[in-house]
A and B are shown apart, each in its own frame.
Chain A
Amino acid sequence: MNSDISIVALSLQIALVATAVTLPIGMFVAWLLVRKQFRGKFVLDVIVSLPLALPPVVVGYALLWVVGTNGWIGQLSESLFGSTLAFTWIAAALAAAIVSLPLVVRSFTAALAGVDPRLESAARGLGAGSVRTFLTITLPLAYRGVIAGVMLGFVRALSEFGATIVVAGNIPGRTQTVPSAIFTRISSGDTDAAWRLALVSVVLGVLALVIHNWLVRRSSNNSDSSNGRAL
């Protein structure tokens, strides 16, 4: 039981850090995609969405290559900390972040697209800079969709397995998350213990999805009445 709790705690920690990474990056990318016209927009869209279309194992393998001794992140962290990030919980969080980014960007894109751009230009005309406009107009009007995107990214990070196991391994107490622990327990025939963690996964997943769907419904009702585009 004790190990169950620490496994769930580590999983939550990894998913939280992954979400903290995807939130600003996803927001910036979504903002670029919705509000800006620039060369390479299509390419950016494809790159950000790519993890959705790839087997997570491939994402993990690519990430391992980047954070390993040959990759630039790996060399950077080796010169700073004396070791690479491979097979650490940070690598697991990075893997989870990359895999959940497409979902987060998609949700944020829909949320931002629901905000009438004329409201933003009205705010600019009234003297607000672009950061203030984003914080006082865009974000408050899109916040339900943004939180929904965060929830979706969080559950995706929590259930990440393929990329994580390649880049972070399955080291009990260090990088073993709920999915990788279930995998170990199934492999070793410890079905009761596997079911326990599976149940925890189901509860967390249902909870997050219920919140997500509730927010999405609320935000589409909201934008209907303000003539915005529904999420």
Chain B
Amino acid sequence: MISFDLRLDRPGFSLDVAGEFDGGITAVFGPSGTGKTSLLNCIAGSVRPTSGFVELNGKTLYSSDKKVSLPPAKRRIGTVYQDGALFPHLDVRRNIEFGWKLIDESERRLNPLELAEFLGLSGLLDRKPDALSGGERQRVAIARALATSPALLLLDEPLASLDIARRGSILNYLKRVHAEFDIPMVYVSHSITEVVSIASRAMLLRDGKVAGFDRPSALLLGAAAAGGDIDNLENILDGVIGDSTDQLTNIRIGKVEISTRHQNKNQGENVVVSVGANQIILAAELPTRLSARNILKGRVTEVWSQHGKVFAEVDVGQKFIVELTENALNELGISQGSEVYLVFKSSSVDVFDA
């Protein structure tokens, strides 16, 4: 568990944030220039706050009162940077082993080669970062940070320099890393899509202050008001390829199965699925004689509305977020607990390699 209460004064900018993050994945999000990265740097120790404290699992990492400020190396915190910040003169293996070699043997809980295998890097160990794709670079960065057996993993916009296909894949790896190694993560992003997809809790920052701390979906509209990137909110979900016909492929997502355009993939293959929140139609009754291939029955678990923008979270055995208008909401008479049908076309589903 990490707790902090920090102030950082810089010319033309000040940060004043307090929070307590549990062992899950916590997102810190908000528009650019709002202090997300500064907060991360204060926690990691690369930037010294003006005053306050940072504690990790009860250990003081920084305290202006007690005059404590551990150097980054002593904090047991791993960081994954926006474009990986891999060492360009070292191959993948030596990048991953860099921090691992510097910690005490007794503290080495994760083996670099096993991490490389877990992150699908076994075939790339002799390559230099120049010869890697963006997604591969980020996986190396994750492995490099994990190899130091950190007590906390910080991720600073780790998907910002990747295309959408790679984003889903890295998100998937991060979820698996969290499930496998049980390392708490702080995930900094300006994209609500990523935050909703990966985090269990989210802290919304605005002008260097905490504007909200809640479940990510509950902060959606706050994010909209703060100028967050929610225009293209995507539901990013893990799936497994099911059976296929000539035109369609079924994909199992948790307890539900959806239809997508035909995928050239084998049954049982893991994939990442993305459905835009504005691509989903809400129906109050079971629609009949419809061309859309996906009709899923569920219950509205939450509705947020502000300034004419409405989001509904619907549980169909798997939670989807749907964007609709104020008019539609009123006309359908939908509220929390309503039984509804989600409708979307098989062509509205993007499928990526996991």
Instruction: Identify the A interface with B (CB < 8 A).
Output: 116, 118-119, 121-129, 132, 136-137, 140-141, 225-226
Chain A residue with the shortest CB-CB distance to B75: A125
In contact, A127 and B148 (Cβ under 8 angstroms)? yes
The answer, yes or no, to whether B130 is at the interface (CB within 8 Å) is yes
In contact, B130 and A125 (Cβ under 8 angstroms)? no
- Given A118-B81, A225-B130: A126 and B99 interface contact (C-beta under 8 Å): yes
Which residues of B have CB within 8 Å of A225?
130
Which residues of B have CB within 8 Å of A125?
44-46, 72-73, 77-79, 99
In contact, A128 and B73 (Cβ under 8 angstroms)? yes
Interface string of B77-120 (1 = CB under 8 A from A): 11101000101110000000011001100000000000000000
Chain A residue with the shortest CB-CB distance to B94: A136
A-B residue pairs in contact (CB < 8 Å), sample of 22: A121-B46, A122-B79, A122-B85, A123-B98, A124-B73, A125-B44, A125-B46, A125-B72, A125-B77, A125-B78, A125-B99, A126-B145, A127-B102, A127-B103, A128-B73, A128-B102, A129-B73, A137-B87, A141-B88, A141-B89, A225-B130, A226-B130
In contact, A126 and B130 (Cβ under 8 angstroms)? no
Chain B residue with the shortest CB-CB distance to A143: B89
Having A116-B85, A122-B85, A129-B73, one finds 17 other A-B pairs with CB under 8 Å, namely: A119-B87, A122-B81, A123-B98, A125-B46, A125-B77, A126-B98, A126-B102, A126-B145, A127-B102, A127-B148, A128-B73, A128-B98, A128-B102, A132-B102, A140-B89, A141-B89, A226-B88
Chain B residue with the shortest CB-CB distance to A141: B89
In contact, B71 and A124 (Cβ under 8 angstroms)? yes
Which residues of A have CB within 8 Å of B206?
none
Number of A-B contacts (CB under 8 A): 55
Interface string of B46-85 (1 = CB under 8 A from A): 1000000000000000000000000111000111010001
Which residues of B have CB within 8 Å of A121?
46, 72
In contact, A124 and B87 (Cβ under 8 angstroms)? no
Chain A residue with the shortest CB-CB distance to B41: A121
The answer, yes or no, to whether B297 is at the interface (CB within 8 Å) is no
Which residues of A have CB within 8 Å of B130?
225-226
Which residues of B have CB within 8 Å of A128?
73, 98-99, 102
In contact, B85 and A118 (Cβ under 8 angstroms)? yes
- Given A137-B87, A140-B89, A225-B130: A124 and B46 interface contact (C-beta under 8 Å): yes
Which residues of A have CB within 8 Å of B98?
123, 126, 128, 136
- Given A118-B81, A225-B130, A226-B130: A124 and B72 interface contact (C-beta under 8 Å): yes
- A122 CA to B44 CA in the complex, in Å? 10
- Given A118-B81, A122-B79: A127 and B73 interface contact (C-beta under 8 Å): yes
Chain B residue with the shortest CB-CB distance to A226: B88
In contact, A123 and B87 (Cβ under 8 angstroms)? yes
Chain A residue with the shortest CB-CB distance to B46: A121
In contact, B85 and A119 (Cβ under 8 angstroms)? yes
Which residues of A have CB within 8 Å of B87?
119, 122-123, 137, 141
Chain A residue with the shortest CB-CB distance to B88: A226
- A226 CA to B132 CA in the complex, in Å? 12
Interface string of B136-170 (1 = CB under 8 A from A): 00000000110010000000000000000000000
Give residues of chain B (234-276) contacting chain A, Cβ–Cβ below 8 Å.
none
Q: How far is the CB of B56 from chain A (nearest CB, A)?
A: 14
Q: How far is the CB of B178 from chain A (nearest CB, A)?
A: 20
Q: How far is the CB of A75 from chain B (nearest CB, A)?
A: 42
Which residues of A have CB within 8 Å of B89?
140-141
- A128 CA to B99 CA in the complex, in Å? 7
Give residues of chain B (281-295) contacting chain A, Cβ–Cβ below 8 Å.
none
Q: How far is the CB of B108 from chain A (nearest CB, A)?
A: 12
In contact, A126 and B71 (Cβ under 8 angstroms)? no
Chain A residue with the shortest CB-CB distance to B102: A127
Q: Most chain-A Cβ atoms within 10 A of its Cβ — which of B44, B45, B99? A: B99
Chain B residue with the shortest CB-CB distance to A126: B99
Q: Most chain-B Cβ atoms within 10 A of its Cβ — which of A121, A129, A225? A: A121
Which residues of B have CB within 8 Å of A137?
87
Q: How far is the CB of A50 from chain B (nearest CB, A)?
A: 32
Q: How far is the CB of B151 from chain A (nearest CB, A)?
A: 13
Chain A residue with the shortest CB-CB distance to B77: A125
Q: How far is the CB of A213 from chain B (nearest CB, A)?
A: 22
- A121 CA to B41 CA in the complex, in Å? 10
- A133 CA to B85 CA in the complex, in Å? 14
Top 3 nearest A-B pairs (CB, nearest first) are A126-B99, A127-B102, A127-B73
- A132 CA to B45 CA in the complex, in Å? 18
Q: How far is the CB of B104 from chain A (nearest CB, A)?
A: 10
Which residues of A have CB within 8 Å of B148?
126-127
Which residues of B have CB within 8 Å of A122?
79, 81, 85, 87
Which residues of A have CB within 8 Å of B81?
118, 122
- A225 CA to B89 CA in the complex, in Å? 12
- A100 CA to B148 CA in the complex, in Å? 43
- A126 CA to B76 CA in the complex, in Å? 8
Which residues of A have CB within 8 Å of B144?
126
- A225 CA to B128 CA in the complex, in Å? 12
- A126 CA to B72 CA in the complex, in Å? 8
- A122 CA to B83 CA in the complex, in Å? 12
Which residues of B have CB within 8 Å of A123?
87, 98
Q: How far is the CB of A222 from chain B (nearest CB, A)?
A: 8
